[in-house]
Amino acid sequence: MASIQELFDLSGRTAIVTGGAGFLGQQFTEALAEAGADVVVADIEGQAAADWAEHIDRVGGSAASVTLDVTDPASVKELIDFTLKRFGSLDILVNSAALDPKFESGTKSSHATSFEAFPLQSWKDALEVNLTGMFLVSQAAARVMAESGKGSLINICSTYGIAGPDQRLYESLGEPHLYKPVYYSVTKAGVLGLTKYIATYYQGTEIRCNALTPGGVERDHEPAFKEAYAQRTVLGRMAYPHEMKGAVVFLASEASSYMTGSNLIVDGGWTAW
């Protein structure tokens, strides 16, 4: 019987994290590397990905970087080819890349778009990255995993894929009224559908697919927003970035070997009431 250390150990595994240079992407890549995996930091921001992979290497992990556009099949193919050539296998995929509008200080003005006036092009762009991109990378990774009959795919969702955004939170940011955009809820709900499709498609194999649903993670938010958000959670606060690390390693590792088609919600209780 495996010990708990063995169950969480990712030594000898290779993981790709799309959006790996992003705010949570950094947490995911760092966590997987700390658990022993070789990690590919894949992001459209190629320099940021390279810098972050270098950081992981410097602190004792094993990482490489790739410039990736999840919406471009040729770029996705290059990612898979690079990963197999560099590390010899592909065991874990974390789909974290997304257009996720932020509400930190100084980033407010681009979110003042009501539902009635929401631009078609923004809707299309987000569907392309958040859903089509996740489909393309999952499909390419699953082709490799299908050969070994084993692998873990982790799709990053959001509480807003489960419940609608509480737009009153964004009111706290003042005038003009800001909104969490419609595409965000729709694409994140779609992530759950894709997760269940992939999980059930690979029935009878050890290819598992689960979603990880973070709640709002504290960054440079305005105090009024932080306070309003905190009141909506059972734990009375936003998440700290490191609070997503355990969940991603759990889903990537043998510790979750009987879990597929599921959604691990790490939201401080947001969706509990």
Interacting residues with ligand NAD (CB under 6 A): 18-19, 21-25, 43-45, 68-71, 96-98, 100, 129, 133, 156, 158, 214, 216-217
- Specify whether the CB–CB gap between 266 and 215 falls below 8 A: yes
C-alpha 200: how far from its chain's center? 20
Residue 2 Cβ vs ligand NAD, minimum distance, rounded to whole Å: 30
**Contacts of 14 by beta carbon, 8 Å cutoff, 6+ apart:** 37, 38, 39, 40, 83, 87, 88, 89, 90, 91, 92
Compute the distance between CA of residue 3 and CA of residue 269 in angstroms, rounded to an integer: 30
Residues near 223 by Cβ (< 8 Å), separated by ≥ 6? none
Q: Which is nearer to ligand NAD, 7 or 189 (CB)?
A: 189
CB of 269 to ligand NAD, least distance (A): 15
Q: Closest separation between CB of residue 165 and ligand NAD, Å?
A: 11
- Nearer to ligand NAD by Cβ, of 9 and 79: the residue is 79
Nearest residue (CB) to ligand NAD, 8 versus 52: 52
Which CB atom, from 151 or from 216, has the smaller least distance to ligand NAD?
A: 216
Q: What is the total residue count of the chain?
A: 273
Q: Which amino acid is at 228?
A: A
Active-site residues: which are they? 184
Q: Are 250 and 244 in contact (CB under 8 A)?
A: no
d(CA 27, CA 50): 15
Query: At closest approach, how far in Å is the CB of 134 from ligand NAD?
Result: 9
Give the separation between CA 227 and CA 236, rounded to whole angstroms: 9
Specify the residue, 7 or 217, whose C-beta has the smaller distance to ligand NAD. 217
Amino acid identity for residue 174 in this structure: G
> Least distance in Å: CB of 252 to ligand NAD?
15
Q: Tokens 């993981």 identify what position?
A: 15
What crossing angle do the helices spanning 245-252 and 23-34 adopt, rounded to 10°? Answer: 60
Comparing every residue's Cβ against ligand NAD, the nearest one is 22
